[in-house]
Amino acid sequence: MMETTESQQILFVCMGNICRSPAAEGVFRKTLEDRAPEVLIRVDSAGTHAYHVGEPPDSRVCRAAERRGIDLSSQRARRVTEDDFRVFDLVIAMDELNYALLMELSPSEYHDRVRLFMDFAPQVGSRNVPDPYYGGSTGFEEVLDLVEEASLGLLVYLRGSNSRKAS
Q: Catalytic pick from 14, 62, 78, 95? A: 14
CA 45/CA 41 separation, integer angstroms: 13
Does the active-site annotation cover 119? Answer: no
Q: Catalytic pick from 58, 84, 95, 131? A: 131
Does the active-site annotation cover 20? Answer: yes
Distances (CA, A) of 44 to 74, 89, 110, 136: 12, 12, 18, 26
Does the active-site annotation cover 164? Answer: no
Structural contact between residues 154 and 28, judged by C-beta atoms closer than 8 angstroms: yes
Q: Catalytic pick from 20, 60, 78, 113? A: 20
Structural contact between residues 63 and 29, judged by C-beta atoms closer than 8 angstroms: no
Catalytically active residues, by annotation: 14, 20, 131
